Structures are given as structure tokens and as C-alpha cells.
Structure 1
Amino acid sequence: MPRRSLFLKVFGTASFTIVAVLYVALIVAVFRNDDKPLTTLAPKGVNAQTIQNLVAPVFGVAGVIFVAVFGAVLYITWRFRDRDDDTPMPSQVHGNSVLEVGWTALPALILAAIAVFTVITIIKLEQRSDDALAVRVYGQQWWWSYQYDVDGDGSYDGQGDITTANELVIPAGREVSLTISSHDVIHSFWIPALNGKKDAVPGMDSHWKIEADQPGVYMGQCTEFCGLSHANMRMVVRALDPAQFDEWVANQQRPARSPEPGSLAAAGEAQFGNLCAQCHVVNGKFEKAEETPPPLLSGVAPNLTHLMTRGTFAGSIFNLYYPQQPGAPVPTPGDPTDASTPGDPGDALFGGTSAYPVNRVTLEAWLRNPPAMKPAAATQKRGMPNLGLSEQQIDELVAYLETLK
């Protein structure tokens, strides 16, 4: 065998082997979960499992087809390569009718079967349970608000109904029926462990549902580009056992408590009324303004009545509580939350005291200069503006916010 041919053969074999190994490693890396918080391949609820039951066999069939076609191409390329000899050209034929009909009909039948099972899956995902918990969801630049119809009367702002932000608390094992819309631009609601995506469109209600099999924390992300801080528009779902959920609801229905007169928190409450209440609501203290926000502008801000019962803030990109662990580093102002470990409010979730300290470093940095922490267009009523607070005002406001349980 000529030296050049031997070199090309060795080089071709080595190149093919390297590419094949890298490709297999890539496939393995993609399908390994590795505790990724935003993966559709680890369903934790009925609806996500329904999607998985469709996707898994489709991936399997597609994988078999890919290997067969790619293998055939490689075989033909290698088998009929130019050998630098006098091998005659193979006879040329017009085609093989049986093969041509086969490779046209077989994909059509596969796609038809996938279409049938896709329609069945869509129908299942659209069905609603009679005892589902109804929650209205609004996407806003750049956070999510949630209104609970606790008494099931079809209204979301009645006596005993709940309004909260960023973190959706649900009972495990019970369907949650979502009515999704937007106050400004198009967003997309996605909790991959619990269901697929559903767009939040201004002026239109989209119906969706989620359900968690077990108590736990499930992460989500807005998946429709919605402006400057789209990547900073996260969400957290906390699934509780039914008894804990009832305890959470009872605490959320309580109005905010008044700080002790003359305390630092009382001074912070006064600061809040002067500086923050025109946008933020604290039930029983600072209620929603009567004027209607103009079109395409949120004009509203997260309800802070029970802020400290949440583990995150600012679109769930920062932790409200910092785990007190041996050797844990002091948080740097503005450090984004690790997406896989949202802050844990502990007993503060039910109005009690958390075992973890409040992340004052990041909370104070947020009050000091919000646009530096999270890009926004505050002058256009999108995002929180820099109010130019003094350090004394920040101390007072943080003291007041810590009472909002």
C-alpha cells in the first residue's frame, strides 16, 4: 500500500473515532441531569411526566433513525471512496422504486403516529380538575405576580384572597389552575419540572396548570425575550404538604403588623410610606393606588405585605436569607442567586423566625442602587429606581422590611 494511502487511512480512522467519541460524550452530557434546575428531562409532576411520556419515545425513534442514516452515509463514504487504482466506476442506474417508496412512506407513517400521540398529550394537558386551586399569574418587567382565588368564587381580589410576587407557593399533590396574562409585553411562564411553557400575552388570558408530586422547590424562567432584564426574570415554586400550605395561606391572609413605636422599624415604616408606597402595597398599611396604569407599562410593583416569607427577591435573582453554614463566605453585594439553591425562609414562610440570617448585605445594596443590581428602565416605570437613600434611611427601611412576615 502506498505511504500516502496508508496515512490517509490512519488519519481517517483516527478522525472518525475522535468525532464519534466526542459525539457520544456530548449526548451523555446532555441527558445527564446533574441537578440542573431547568431541565425538562427530570419531571416532578403529572403534567411534566405526561410530556416526558411523549418525548422519550420520540427521542428514541429519532436516535435510531439518526444512527441508521449516519451509519449508512459513513459506510457508503468509506466503501466507495477513491482508492487511487483502476477500479471501474459502478454501473449507473436510475433508481430503486421499492427503496424510494419505502423511505418516503416510512417517515410519513412515523410522523403520523407522532402527530396522533401529540394531539392526545395536548388534550390531557388542557383538561382541568374540579378541585384545582385557581391562581391568576401576571408577567411584568421583570418579575411575576400571583393572585390566589382562595375561596373559589372566581374573583382574585375578594376577602381572604392572596396576592404575592416572584414565588408561587402551592400544595403538593393538588392541581393548580393558572390564568396567565401580562401587564406590559409578552412573557413566557415555564417551570420545566412541573409543565411546559405558556406565553403571557397582554390583554389575553392563557390557561395552564401545574402540579407537584412531592413537596420541594422548583425553579423557572421567563422564556420569551421581554427586554433589558429578561435573563433576570426568574421564578420559584415552593410545593408544600397540604397542612403546611393551609398554614401558609392563613399567615398570608393576615395584614401587616405595626412596628413598636419609637423603634428603628417604626421609622422605616414612615420612610416606606413617603418613598415606597406609591408603587408597593402592604396590606392593612399601604393600599393600592386608585389610578389605572397606562398601557404597556406595569405601573405597579411587588406586593410586600409578607416579603420575609419569601426566600428571594428582585425577580428571584437574589436571596433574602443566607445559609449559616460553617465556613460559608460573606455574600458580596449583588451576587446573583445560584439558580439551584434559592434562599430558604424556613419557619419565616409561615410567619415565624427563620433559622437563617437575613441577607442584609444584598438587601441593603439593592436599596442603595437597584439599577446597578438589575438592569431596568426605571424612568419608564420599568424596574425600581435609585431613590438616593442615605445609609440611615436604608437601615430604617431594612428594619421595617424585616417585620413583614
Structure 2
Amino acid sequence: MPRRSVLVRILQVVTLVVVTVLFVVLIIDSFLNDGKPLTTLRPEGPAAQDIQNLVWPVFLVAGIVFVGVFGAIGFIIMKFRQRDDDDPEQFPEQVHGRTGLEIGWTILPALILAGVAVGTVITIINLDKRADDAIPVKVVGQQFWWSFHYDLNNDGNFEGPEDLTTAGELVVPVGREIEIVTTSNDVIHSFWIPGLNGKKDAVPNLLNPIKLEADVEGVFLGQCTEFCGLSHANMRMLVRSVSQDTYDAWLENQLTDKSAEPTDPDAAEGREIFTQQCAACHLVDGVSDPEDVPLVAGVAPDLTHLMTRGTFAGSIFNLYAPDGEPIGGNPEEVANPGDPGEALTGGPVDEGRVNRGILEDWLRNAPALKPAAADEGRGMPDLGLTEDQIDKLVAYLYTLN
């Protein structure tokens, strides 16, 4: 065999080995979930498990087809390649009209697709079922954060006086179905908590149903998956699954009147600063009235119980250090969301675990941390606060638990 042919053969073999190794490494890496909080390959709820039960056989069949097709192509390339002693003008024997093969490669794909269709229909039916004791929640996309409206009296009205509105974090009892309808206050968004279910678009003037249920206690992260503006990538959310007792305590605290004035002098002054600088957009029960101020809660999160949340600013920053981790580090570490501890249910705020530095930076110059269009009513503007005002405003925010 000529030397050049030997080198070409070696190069072909090396290329094949390298491509195969890279392909295998990519496949293995896709199934490693460490540091991948938005993976769809780790279902933690019935709906996500139903989807996973459909995905696995489809991927298995697709993998078999992939190997079969490319294996056949590789075999044909090697077996029928032109050799050195071949006449380049000579055509191989032309074969056609194999009726059995033609029928086979028509029927087999049809049967495969029919099986996938049956599994898909069954999965859709299962995802559409609703539990009798499901908790109804309306999820509203905003530029660039999420608000959650609990219909606590189950009357179909999510904005009633007996209902609850919060932002950024959806707190749910473990093992209890949450019946969600998504909508939007501005442009099209997409609600996605991959550990608990698939995606659902949030469209203005339209209510799209989806259900969530967590099998275990924990925090499940999500992300807006429809491009919606400057901070689309910074529009995150999370579901915090807790025990039924903790959920009941959280709910009772959320419904507790928090209008009493702070006793700490700095916090009291901070409340006045909040009233003057922040209450035109943000709602705090007993401090700002949505009927008197048109912008209240229309373009900004409800801060009535801010310190019961582990994150803020569209859940891109940790308000507290994550569970078991020291204060500091990277407050944007999405894989480890902040843990409010006892403050979740109205207990004392552990100020030693609050990421005060990033909270102050946010008040100092929010547009520098999260791109938006504050002059058009989207995003928090730079309020021009002094350092003294920031200190006192933070002291007041600490009371919002």
C-alpha cells in the first residue's frame, strides 16, 4: 500500500476516534447535574416525572435510529469507497426496486411515530389533570420579575382582600398541587421551573394553565425563557417547597398586618425615606396605598414581607447567605439560593447572614446591576440616595419580615 494511503487511513482512524470520544464525553456530561440547577434531567415532581417518562423512551429510540443510520452510512462509505485499483470511470452495480425494503422503511418509522404519539397524548392528559385540593395561583410576568397571586378563598379572583400577593419566590407546601395560570403585564414571557414541569408562556390578556407539585422540600430554580427585553437573562424565579406546617405558618405571617411603625429610630427614619422615595412604585401594607398611588405594585414588586424571601431583584441576588454557607462569596450564585431561615415564617431576621453589601449596592445604583429602562417604567431607577439614607432605608427593610 502506498505511503500516502497509509497516512490517510491513519488520519481517518484518528479522526473517528477523536469524534467518538468527544461525542461520548458530551453525552456523559449532559447527564451530570452538579452545578446545573436548571436541568430537565432531574425531575422533582409528578408533572416533571411524567415528562421524563416520555422523554427517555423517545431519546432511546432516537439514539438507536441515530446509531443505525450513521452506522450504515459509515459501513457503506468504507465498503464501497474507491480503491487505488478501481477504474474511476466504472460505476458500481445499480440496484433499485427492492419492494420489501421500501415497505419496511416506510412502515417502521410510521410505527415508531405512532408509539411516540400515543405516549405524548397520554402524557398531555396526565399533565392536564387537576387535584381537588390544588392551590390556585396566578403568575404574572413583569419586566423583569414575577409576581405571584394566591387565590386563598378559591373564588376565582386573585386580587381580593382575602388573597395574597408576593414576588420573586413562590412558596408551596410539599406534596400539594399548585394550579397556576400564567399571564403578563407587558410583553410575552415564559414561566419555567424545569424541576417541576415544562414551560408555559405568559401572554398579556391570556391565562395559560400549568400545574406544579414538589415531591420533596427544597428550592427549585426557574428562568424566563422568552426574550422580553434588556434583562431577560436576569428574570429569574424560584419555588420554595416547605412542609405543610411551615407553609401554614408562612401564610399566617404573610396575612398579618405589618403597618405598625418601627421602634428603632433609624428604621423609623428609613420608613419616611421609603414613603418619599419608594412608595410611588413599591407597595408595603400600611405604608403605601395602591388606590391613592397609581404606580404602586404596577411596575415594582410588593415589599410587604421582603425579608421572608431568600432572593431579591428578580431573584438574581441572594438576600441571605445560602443554607450552611458563610456570608459573602458570590451573591449571584444561582445554584445556591439564599435561605431566610426563621424569617421565612416571621421569625427574627438574622442580620449576620444578610448580604447587606449587595442590598446597599442595589439601593445605591440599581441600573448598574440590572439593565432596564427605568425612565419608561421598566426597572428600578437610580434614586440618588445618600449613604445615610441608604443605611436608614436598609434598617427599615430589615423590619419587613
Q: Can you list the C-alpha shifts for 1:319-348, whole angstroms capped at 9, x where unaligned?
A: 11135978x5745xxx55111101110111
The amino acid that maps onto 1:7 is L
The amino acid that maps onto 2:19 is V
Structure 1 residue corresponding to 2:343, chosen from 335, 344, 348 = 348
- Contact 1:257–1:403 (CA under 8 A) maintained in structure 2: no
User: Are the structure 2 counterparts of residues 20 and 323 from structure 1 closer, same or farther at C-alpha, using a change threshold of 3 Å?
Assistant: closer
In structure 1, C-alpha distance between the alignment counterparts of 2:322 and 2:217, rounded to whole Å: 20
Q: What corresponds to 2:93 in structure 1?
A: 91
Q: What corresponds to 1:358 in structure 2?
A: 354
Q: What corresponds to 2:375 in structure 1?
A: 379
Q: What corresponds to 1:114 in structure 2?
A: 116
In the TM superposition, residue 18 of structure 1 has moved relative to its aligned partner by 1.0
Structure 2 residue corresponding to 1:398, chosen from 354, 379, 394 = 394
The alignment covers a number of residue pairs equal to: 397
Q: What corresponds to 1:68 in structure 2?
A: 68
User: Are the structure 2 counterparts of residues 261 and 348 from structure 1 closer, same or farther at C-alpha, using a change threshold of 3 Å?
Assistant: closer
Q: What corresponds to 1:144 in structure 2?
A: 146
Alignment of 1:278 onto 2:273: no
Q: What corresponds to 1:33 in structure 2?
A: 33
In structure 2, C-alpha distance between the alignment counterparts of 1:86 and 1:131, rounded to whole Å: 76
Cα RMSD, aligned residues only: 1.8
Q: What corresponds to 1:4 in structure 2?
A: 4
The amino acid that maps onto 2:72 is A
User: Are the structure 2 counterparts of residues 86 and 271 from structure 1 closer, same or farther at C-alpha, using a change threshold of 3 Å?
Assistant: closer
Q: What corresponds to 1:79 in structure 2?
A: 79
In structure 2, C-alpha distance between the alignment counterparts of 1:152 and 1:21, rounded to whole Å: 55
Structure 2 residue corresponding to 1:156, chosen from 130, 151, 158 = 158
**Structure 1 vs Structure 2: percent identity of aligned residues?**
57
In structure 1, C-alpha distance between the alignment counterparts of 2:222 and 2:128, rounded to whole Å: 20
In structure 2, C-alpha distance between the alignment counterparts of 1:316 and 1:329, rounded to whole Å: 17
Pairing 1:157-306 to 2, within 5 Å after superposition = 157-261=159-263, 263-290=265-292, 299-306=298-305
In structure 1, C-alpha distance between the alignment counterparts of 2:264 and 2:397, rounded to whole Å: 16
Q: Secondary structure of the residue that 1:308 maps to in structure 2?
A: helix
The amino acid that maps onto 2:391 is D
Show structure 2 runs of 5+ residues with no match.
none
In structure 1, C-alpha distance between the alignment counterparts of 2:41 and 2:269, rounded to whole Å: 50
The amino acid that maps onto 2:343 is A
Q: Secondary structure of the residue that 1:42 maps to in structure 2?
A: coil
Q: Secondary structure of the residue that 2:353 maps to in structure 1?
A: coil
Q: Which 10-residue stretch deviates more, 136-145 or 253-262?
A: 253-262
In structure 1, C-alpha distance between the alignment counterparts of 2:243 and 2:327, rounded to whole Å: 32
The amino acid that maps onto 1:308 is M
In structure 1, C-alpha distance between the alignment counterparts of 2:60 and 2:291, rounded to whole Å: 55
Q: What corresponds to 1:312 in structure 2?
A: 311
In the TM superposition, residue 46 of structure 1 has moved relative to its aligned partner by 0.3
User: Are the structure 2 counterparts of residues 393 and 225 from structure 1 closer, same or farther at C-alpha, using a change threshold of 3 Å?
Assistant: same
- Contact 1:320–1:359 (CA under 8 A) maintained in structure 2: yes
Q: Which 10-residue stretch deviates more, 316-325 or 174-183?
A: 316-325
The amino acid that maps onto 1:99 is L
- Contact 1:142–1:229 (CA under 8 A) maintained in structure 2: yes
Q: What corresponds to 2:22 in structure 1?
A: 22
In the TM superposition, residue 14 of structure 1 has moved relative to its aligned partner by 1.3
In structure 2, C-alpha distance between the alignment counterparts of 1:310 and 1:400, rounded to whole Å: 16
In structure 2, C-alpha distance between the alignment counterparts of 1:110 and 1:2, rounded to whole Å: 47
Q: Can you list the C-alpha shifts for 1:37-72, whole angstroms capped at 9, x where unaligned?
A: 001110000000000010100000000110011111
- Contact 1:228–1:376 (CA under 8 A) maintained in structure 2: yes
In structure 2, C-alpha distance between the alignment counterparts of 1:198 and 1:336, rounded to whole Å: 28
Q: Can you list the C-alpha shifts for 1:101-149, whole angstroms capped at 9, x where unaligned?
A: 2112211221122112111211211111111001111000000000111
In structure 1, C-alpha distance between the alignment counterparts of 2:105 and 2:28, rounded to whole Å: 29
In structure 1, C-alpha distance between the alignment counterparts of 2:378 and 2:336, rounded to whole Å: 27
In structure 2, C-alpha distance between the alignment counterparts of 1:391 and 1:362, rounded to whole Å: 14
In structure 1, C-alpha distance between the alignment counterparts of 2:192 and 2:139, rounded to whole Å: 12
In structure 2, C-alpha distance between the alignment counterparts of 1:390 and 1:137, rounded to whole Å: 35
In the TM superposition, residue 255 of structure 1 has moved relative to its aligned partner by 2.0
Instruction: Give the TM-score normalised by structure 2.
Output: 0.95
In structure 2, C-alpha distance between the alignment counterparts of 1:15 and 1:289, rounded to whole Å: 69
Instruction: Give the TM-score normalised by structure 1.
Output: 0.94
- Contact 1:170–1:239 (CA under 8 A) maintained in structure 2: yes
Q: Secondary structure of the residue that 1:209 maps to in structure 2?
A: strand
Q: Can you list the C-alpha shifts for 1:232-259, whole angstroms capped at 9, x where unaligned?
A: 0000110011111001000000122534
Show structure 1 runs of 5+ residues with no match.
none
In the TM superposition, residue 162 of structure 1 has moved relative to its aligned partner by 1.2
- Contact 2:280–2:293 (CA under 8 A) maintained in structure 1: no
